[in-house]
Each structure stands twice: as C-alpha cells, then as structure tokens.
Chain A
Amino acid sequence: MKEFVLIFRNSTNPHGNPSPEQLQERMNWMGSIAAQNKLVDKGNRLSASQAKTVQPGNVVTDGPYTEIKEFISGYLIVKADSIEEVVEMAKANPTFKTGGNIEIRQILTPEDKD
C-alpha cells in the first residue's frame, strides 16, 4: 500500500467554533478510515491566527489570513492501494459542506520516481 497526505484547505476557519454535529461528522469520517485500518497518522489541525510566512530577504509577513485566500487548515495521512481509492475517501469528508477542499498527494519513498 502507498501512503497519501490529505491537505485540507478552507477560506473560513473550521476550528473556530464548530458545532457538536460538525465535530461528530468529522470524527465519523476519520473513524471510518481508521476502522478500515487505513489511517496512518491522524495529523493535526493548523492554527489560523498563529501564522507567519518567512520570505527571502528576512521578510516576515503575518498570515496567510483566512480572509485573503484559502489557507491550509489541517492534514492527515492515509494508506491505500491507489490514489483513486483516496479520492473516494476524501469525497465523504464533511469539509465540502463549508466550502473547504482537499488536496491529495502521494508520499514518495526513496525508491519512488515521480
């Protein structure tokens, strides 16, 4: 099996004030993947407010801000036989209800050629 990172993007902060129902849906989604023994790492939520970007020439900016563009709100790692299978997993995620999207990237091992 190969491993894939799921990168969650949002334009509104999903960690701000989620309703109990939203939390339940997210947990159900993750629980479902874990129940198939395909969750490698439950990842982390990423802060929307404590964020800075360091650029060339010692330029440090705040953000990215949620208002400006889609920012990464979290990630997790799953394993699957194919990227198509991961696409199906991702489709069931509740993030689409609140305007989020999910980027899927295969993790390369030293043997892999991209």
Chain B
Amino acid sequence: MSEQGASYRELLPHLFRLEYSKMTAVLCRHFGLKHIETAEDIASETFLKATEVWAVSGIPENPAGWLYTVAKNKTKDYLRRISLFETQIKGAIKTTDYEPGPAFEFNRQTITDSQLAMIFAVCNPANSKEAQICLALQILCGFSVEEIADAFLTKKETIKKRLLRARATLREDNFQIRALDEGIIQSRMEVVLRTLYLLFNEGYFSQSGDQLIRKDLCSEAMRLALILTESPLTNTTEANALLSLMCFQSSRLDAREDDSGETILFEHQDRSRWSTELIEKGNYYLVNACTGNELSKYHLEAGIAYWHTTPTGDNKWEHILQLYNQLILVEYSPMTALNRTFAFAKVYGHQTALKEAEKLELTNSSYYHSLLAWLYADTDIDKAIALYKKAITLTKSATEKKTLQREIDTLGKRKT
C-alpha cells in the first residue's frame, strides 16, 4: 500500500502535466472558449478524483484511459444539469448561446485537433507577448501559477493578474476553436511561432535557477512545435526551422551544467555529452525547412545552431558570422548584436572586434561588459577584470554572477 502510494504520487504530477492540457483543449473545443473555466473545472475535478481513488485502490492499468472516462462522465453530468436548468428551470427564458453539441469522444484525433486549435486560440494577438506565454504555459502546458512565477522570476500575484486579464481577452474573443481554417492559420501562425520560440528561450536562457522547470519549458515548447509539424495545415518551412533550432539547442542542455549545477560555457563543454539523437533530429527538420524559398529568422538561427554542432574548421565561424549578419538585418536585438560581435572576433581577431564591440554601446547589459572583458583579456587584464566586475553588478542571475566571478579568478591567477 505504501509502495503504491509513493508511485501514484510520482505518476500523478507527470500525468497531470501531460493530460490536463489535452483534456482542457478537447473540452474547450466542445464547449467553446467562453466556457474555458468549465472545461478546466471538469479537468481539475477529474484529477482530484484520481488522487482520492488511486490513493486507496491503487493505480488503474490504463491511467490515462481512466482519466478520460471520468472526464467524459463528468462532462455528461454537467451537460445534463445544464440542460435540466435550461429547459425546466429557466423555462421560457431564451437560452444562452450555449448549445450542447453532438456527443464527443476523447480519441487520438480529437485530442490532436483540439490541441492544435487551442495553440491558435491562446496565441491571440490582442494579448501582450508576456501574457501569451503565461497563457500558453497555463493552458497548453498545465503549469501552475507558482511554476510560471518561478520561471519568470516574478511574484505570483503579478502572474495571476496577467493571467486574469489575458483570459478575459480570450473569452471575449470570437475565436471559434472548432474551425481552424487557413485564414486563421495565416493570420496567427507568426504569433504562434513567436510564442513557442519565446517559450523555449524562457527555458533555455532563463535566469531561474530551477533546472527542472527550465527543462520542462524547453520540452513543452518542443512538444507544441512538433504538433505544428505533424499537421498538414501547419507544417510550414518556418515551423520546421523553429523545431530544428529547438532540437539543436536542447542537444546541449545536459552539457551546459556540471554536477554541482554550475554553468559550463559553450567552449568548455564536453561534446560527448551533446545528444546526437537531438542533433540528428535538428538536421532532419532543417532539411525540411529548406525545401521552400522562405528564409525566416528561425531558418537563420537554426543555421547558426547547426554550425555550432560542427567541429571547428571548414570556415565554421565565417559561416556563423554571415548568418548573424543576415539575422541582424531581419530583426535587431541586443543579444544578436552581441553574438554577432563574438563571431566577428572569432573570424577577425579580438583587436578588430573590439572596435566593433565598442560601437554597440549596450552599457546596461551584463553580456556587453563580459564580451568586452573577453576581448580585452589577452591585452589588458586589469581592464578585463574591471569589466567583468561591472558585468556582475548588472546581472540578477546568481549563476551568471558565479560564472563571471570564475573568469575574474582565472584572470587574477594569470596576472600573478
């Protein structure tokens, strides 16, 4: 019994994460977005019942199947209550816009379709980027408010408020979750891709120290991007480029940290710890992405990530620099500007790159100062140390502070 109790406590959070969002999506498609709370209530009640029942009688043979049967019955009960209320209690009063649709099933196809539609519903351009990501995490990925707050290093209250506003927009939106047609896909695909891209980056570059949450963010973003590439409606070259980028980046997730959880910089990573499986997947989706004429920023970033997986030589850094040159023309961002300068230094040397770097004038960025420090390290150790110290004052991330301090220590030793 105690053994059973332990295993169900491990299984349930996993199942919850996996099935809650699917269940909500299917139910939402059935009830309409206006009734998203109803859908979520039914999903939550289902999991609540599972915790109660499984604790006593153990885990059923097919836990997901069990969950869906319970959810289905709860939905039927709900519909029966509603219809009773509508027909007998409210009497002649005109019914609301809610009409019980045909009976629904939780099968593989409806789950996939509903999830895809839900992605497009959540990525509503009327909401801010931050709100879209929060919504995606909550509705598409089943994250709790606390987990979202952890990932963003933000207060729970802030996230709660943001979600409340975003959900109001969602309910008022006339988005028909049932009909995912080409028009909707065309008008929202860009926002969808950007949201998934930001979701992934939130995990990959997050300042949150919680490694588990960060990995979860990355794998959730990949799961959703995979849904896009698996449907003929959304399997665009851009979606493939984005998924390719995610595969390449996550191939290095394990090699980025040492046993004590400290960051290992790219150059010092043990390449045997890179996941060859993910690199191969990255290659696969990159080939798919290059079947058309589009050259989006995801293509360029996937190209850069691809070159990072290759050994030095073959003009690797020339290729990376040229891709960064194109990327910065497509979309300026301080991070791209800094990365471009890093690649420039790899090709033309630290001295020439210093002039390029100083023009950037990103004086509020810790990365800017650590890049300058890295460029100065060979010629002016004192200046480099001063710049690393400045970088430490500018970052909030404890991990980054540690990494920078390590650089200072190394330089200090070299001086003596």
Chain A interface residues toward B at CB < 8 A: 24, 27-28, 30-32, 34-37, 39, 42
Q: Which residues of B contact A30 (CB under 8 A)?
A: 325, 329
Cβ A36 vs Cβ B344 within 8 A: no
A35 / chain B contacts, CB cutoff of 8 Å: 328, 332, 336-337, 340-341, 356, 359-360
Number of contact residues on B: which range applies? 10 to 19
B321 part of interface (Cβ distance < 8 Å) = yes
User: Do the beta carbons of A31 and B328 come within 8 Å of each other?
Assistant: yes
With both chains docked as a complex, state the minimum distance between the C-beta of B15 and any C-beta of chain A, in angstroms. 47
Bound-complex Cα distance A31 to B320 (A): 13
In the assembled complex, the Cα of A43 lies from the Cα of B344 at a distance in Å of: 23
Contact: B318 with A36, CB < 8 Å? no
**B269 lies within 8 A of chain A by Cβ:** no
The interface residues of chain B lying within 8 Å CB-to-CB of A34 are 325, 328-329, 332, 337
Residue B326 is within 8 A (CB to CB) of chain A in the complex: yes
Report whether A24 and B318 are in contact in the complex, using a CB–CB cutoff of 8 Å: yes
**Pair B337/A42 contact, Cβ less than 8 Å:** no
Instruction: Kindly supply a per-residue 1/0 record for chain B positions 316-348, scoring 1 wherever the CB is within 8 Å of any chain A CB and 0 otherwise.
Output: 001001101110110010001100110010000
Contact indicator B322/A36 (Cβ below 8 Å): no
Give the CA-CA distance A27 to B327 in the complex, in Å.
11
Q: Is the interface of A mostly helix, strand, loop or mixed?
A: helix
Smallest CB gap from A24: residue in B: B322
Q: Which of B326, B336, B337 meets A27, CB within 8 Å? A: B326
Pair A31/B325 contact, Cβ less than 8 Å: yes
B37 near A: Cβ within 8 Å?
no
Per the 8 Å Cβ criterion, residues 295-331 of B in contact with A are 318, 321-322, 324-326, 328-329
Chain A residues with CB under 8 Å of B325's CB are 27-28, 30-31, 34
Q: Within 8 Å CB of B356, what residues of A?
A: 32, 35
Contact A28 B344 (CB under 8 A): yes
Contact with A along B17-57 (1 / 0, CB 8 A): 00000000000000000000000000000000000000000
Nearest Cβ distance between residue A93 and chain B, in whole angstroms? 14
Is B294 part of the binding interface, using a Cβ–Cβ cutoff of 8 Å? no
Q: Are B329 and A39 in contact (CB under 8 A)?
A: yes
Q: 20 additional contacts, CB 8 Å, given A30-B329, A35-B340, A42-B329?
A: A28-B325, A28-B344, A30-B325, A31-B321, A31-B324, A31-B325, A31-B328, A31-B329, A32-B359, A34-B337, A35-B328, A35-B341, A35-B356, A35-B359, A35-B360, A36-B337, A36-B361, A37-B332, A37-B337, A39-B329
